[in-house]
């Protein structure tokens, strides 16, 4: 992670200087100091560049003053968004070893948000690049946020840093190739979260068989890589016993071929991130533990690989879930909901949660409906749905409420079992999938986030470089922070 420090603003003796300016704002603070040192040169340069401070506008000047190798002036618009500004500046200064950002006019909280944006954008997954040229690698190692309220900004950044670290964990997991991140390897990495104070329990096939996990184990049976379920507990309330903990559940299909109902070859490599729901839950638990949330929280992930092996599940098979409900497997590529069915039942029986939120790259249908701009949100509880939506909007992770209902639920009625795992066709596929999951929640407050369209970014944005987005980590951290910390 980028080394970020907070200090009183001062002209750097070396490296880059970044000056964020609101639209139409006069030069003040460090910007005014630099302009005076340049005998009005900064004012003249900005006029020559037609810089007005509009949002998204930037102007770069090389070696403007002794020691400063690069000056970047960032427009923040009329309504400054410090976080996006912090993220947007990273590509402009990544070639410098160090940089100072002057945050004159911003509060301590805004200065911390700018730092968070910069940290989020600085992420890079490059562990398998063995021949990358030195000049192609980012050089920025240290970023100093210059603010008159350095101590307050540093304190405000501390919990944000924990969230960034959770985001980075999720991005790392989702970026890994499937030959590396098997269910066993995934579980081993999550055991490492015990250093943050999490209690981590790993269940293997024997334990899950005893629990009656016929749905999850049916998905896994075609692969030589054994499945795992990982339970992560954070006891933040300080009470002797957990009472109605918050519960987050993730689909962790570490690679999805579709099984016997095999997917087309084109684009199948993307199915390495069919475990993004589990990755998000892992990052969320790391973030909550890292900032020491005062809530009791459970994170559970079901980890399997869906392969067309000699023992693979067949279309037409009937499996018995941990809840005792039977499922006719019409399509083996509708496997994530089978994993969630058993994990959700376990969460209810074991923890009696206050609510459950599951995350899954569940359906291509949600991408058809919402594209890559929103996750699909399904819920049986109005308050929970509203809180998730608001939390997502506040951190730039949008979710759109989708319907549930009897007409959709009827589509998964089976002729020979309690239900089938897909509806009658392509129409409403994300909804019938959610209806399937709802059959296992036993009336508990529940929300389902279908993140198939938001788990992977196909282009850069201010705080998310192209690749694994870690969608949901910040949203659900904010949900907990805003409503469930006593």
Which active-site residues does the annotation give? 263, 337
Tally of residues, the chain: 486
Q: With 0-12 CB in 10 A as exposed, 13-18 as middle and 19+ as buried, what is 111?
A: buried
Task: Count the Cβ atoms, other than its own, within 10 Å of residue 298.
Answer: 23
Q: What is the C-alpha R_g of the chain?
A: 24
Q: What is the DSSP string of 342-409?
A: HHHHHHHHHH--SEEEEEE---THHHHHHTTT-EEEEES-HHHHHHHHHHHHHHT--EEE----HHHH
User: How far is Cα 153 from Cα 56, in angstroms, rounded to an integer?
Assistant: 24
User: How far is Cα 277 from Cα 361, in angstroms, rounded to an integer?
Assistant: 6
* Helical (H) or strand (E) element with 436: helix 429-438
Strands (E), 323-417: 326-328, 355-360, 375-379, 399-401
| Contacts with 203 (C-beta within 8 Å, 6 or more apart), sequence order | 211, 228, 229, 230, 231
Sheet containing 419-420: give its strands across: 318-320, 326-328, 419-420
Q: Which two tokens stand for residue 293?
A: 């949330």
Quick check: helix, strand or coil at residue 158? helix
Q: What is the DSSP string of 83-107?
A: HHHHHHHHHHHTTSSEEEEE-TT--
């Amino acid at each position: 992670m980028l080394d970020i420090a907070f200090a009183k603003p001062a002209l750097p003796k070396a490296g880059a200087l970044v000056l964020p300016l609101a639209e139409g704002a006069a030069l003040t603070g460090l910007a005014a100091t630099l302009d005076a040192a340049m005998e009005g040169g900064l004012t003249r340069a900005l006029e020559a560049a037609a810089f007005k401070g509009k949002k998204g506008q930037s102007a770069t000047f090389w070696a403007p003053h002794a020691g400063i190798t690069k000056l970047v002036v960032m427009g923040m618009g009329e309504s400054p968004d410090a976080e996006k500004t912090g993220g947007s500046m990273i590509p402009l200064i990544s070639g410098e070893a160090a940089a100072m950002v002057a945050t004159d006019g911003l509060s301590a909280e805004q200065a911390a948000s700018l730092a968070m944006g910069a940290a989020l954008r600085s992420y890079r997954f490059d562990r398998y690049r063995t021949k990358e040229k030195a000049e192609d690698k980012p050089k920025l190692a240290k970023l100093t946020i210059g603010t008159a309220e350095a101590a307050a900004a540093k304190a405000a950044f501390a919990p944000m840093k924990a969230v960034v670290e959770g985001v980075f964990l999720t991005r790392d997991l989702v970026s890994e190739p499937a030959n590396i991140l098997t269910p066993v390897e995934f579980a081993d990495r999550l055991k490492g979260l015990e250093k943050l104070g999490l209690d981590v329990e790993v269940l293997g096939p024997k334990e899950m068989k005893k629990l009656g996990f016929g749905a999850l184990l049916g998905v896994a049976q075609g692969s030589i890589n054994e499945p795992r379920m990982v339970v992560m507990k954070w006891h933040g309330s300080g009470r002797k016993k957990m009472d109605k903990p918050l519960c987050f559940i993730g689909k962790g299909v570490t690679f999805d071929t579709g099984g016997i109902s095999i997917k087309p070859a084109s684009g199948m490599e993307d199915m390495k991130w069919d475990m993004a729901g589990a990755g998000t839950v892992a990052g969320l638990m790391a973030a909550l533990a890292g900032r020491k949330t005062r809530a009791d929280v459970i994170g559970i992930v079901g980890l399997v690989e869906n392969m067309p092996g000699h023992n693979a599940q067949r279309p037409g098979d009937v499996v018995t879930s941990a809840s005792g409900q039977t499922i006719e497997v019409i399509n083996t590529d509708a496997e994530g909901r089978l994993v969630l069915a058993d994990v959700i039942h376990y969460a209810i029986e074991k923890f009696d949660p206050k609510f459950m939120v599951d995350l899954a790259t569940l359906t291509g249908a949600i991408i058809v409906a919402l594209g890559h701009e929103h996750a699909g949100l399904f819920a049986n509880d109005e308050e929970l749905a509203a809180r998730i939506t608001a939390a997502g909007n506040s951190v730039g992770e949008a979710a759109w409420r989708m319907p549930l209902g009897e007409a959709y639920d009827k589509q998964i009625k089976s002729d020979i079992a309690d239900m089938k795992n897909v509806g009658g066709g392509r129409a409403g596929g994300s909804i019938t999938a959610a209806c399937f999951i709802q059959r296992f929640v036993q009336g508990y407050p529940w929300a389902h986030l279908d993140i198939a369209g938001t788990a992977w970014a196909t282009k850069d944005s201010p705080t998310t470089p192209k690749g694994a987005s870690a969608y949901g980590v910040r949203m659900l951290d904010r949900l907990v922070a805003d409503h469930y910390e006593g």
